[in-house]
Structure 1
Amino acid sequence: MSLSDQEVCIVDDDASVRTAVSSLVRSLGLRARLFASAEEFLAAGCAADLVISDLQMPGISGIELLELLRGRADQVPFIVITAFLQDAVKGRATQAGAACVLGKPFRADALIGCIERALATGPDHTHV
């Protein structure tokens, strides 16, 4: 699967963050779909190769979204971004199966590294 065939779903209630992350994702040759909430993402049925989600959002939080997906046996790689990076939050996200947890503001190269690692180790990206 080429990079341009891979879709990254970006879930964040902050439009400026969605736009910035989308620009970075597209600069890597990936497709991006943007969602203002976890509920919007779930309603769309996005078949993502990767999800990048904010932690703190009205309604369903990023960790709740991750836990919900894992409860459905959906093993899509998942990156959590948050302005509230505390050890307890990081631990819960990691335990729930997040591939990476980044504190806002984050450097572009840090997110790129997370994206590359998550896609390389994702469930649909094993090489024979």
Structure 2
Amino acid sequence: MDASGRGEVDGGQQDKARPLVCVVDDDGSVRRALCTLLRSAGFDSHAWAGAQEFLHAGLAAQCRCLIADLRMPGMDGFELQQSLRRSHPGVPVVFISAHADEPARRRALAAGAVDLLGKPFSESALLHAVHRALEPGRP
């Protein structure tokens, strides 16, 4: 991850055998930690500091799962999910948030999110949500 927060491939070209998981969070330490975790679990990962940067990066079509913070400057996670559903409806979303209350959870799940994980969350909870998002036949 570079200091600007722009998306960065984990070490170079995407490996087609490894599913691409995209991360959008305005906290650089969260982006770095998630990319490290995802790589260690066998995924390729890209990360962005904001929703607009992700949408303009041109990787949504290759993204197999999006992990997004709910609250970010500019476009929030719900707006990002809506935009992504219009352009790439098959990309599953896992939300993460320090503000993961029950109304937000219900809203996220009603909009088709795989899960909403409250920060801090365990590595196993996140990886479980990503694996569920990648299950064959998932809508």
**Cross-structure match for 1:83:** 98
TM-score (norm 1): 0.88
Q: TM-score normalized by structure 2? A: 0.82
- Write the deviation string for residues 69-123 of structure 1: whole angstroms up to 9, x where unpaired: 2233522011000000111111111111101110000011111111111111465
- Are 1:36 and 2:49 an aligned pair? yes
Q: Which runs of 4+ in 1 moved over 2 A?
A: 2-5, 121-124
Unaligned runs of 5+ in 1: none
The gaps in structure 2 that reach 5 residues or longer are 1-14
Identify if the C-alpha distance between structure 1 residues 121 and 65 changes in structure 2 by more than 3 Å, giving closer, same or farther.
Answer: farther
Structure 1 residue 16 corresponds to structure 2 residue 29:
yes
Contact 1:76 1:123 in 2 (8 A): no
Pair 1:109 & 2:124 matched: yes
Q: How many residues align?
A: 123
Counterpart-to-counterpart distance in 2, 1:90 and 1:103: 9
Q: For 1:22, give the aligned amino acid.
A: C
Q: Distance in 2 between matches of 1:73 and 1:45?
A: 11
For 1:34, give the aligned amino acid: A
Return the alpha-carbon distance in structure 2 between the equivalents of residues 30 and 73 of structure 1: 20
Give how far 1:40 is off: 0.2
| Amino acid aligned to 1:60 | M
Residue in 2 aligned with 1:55? 70
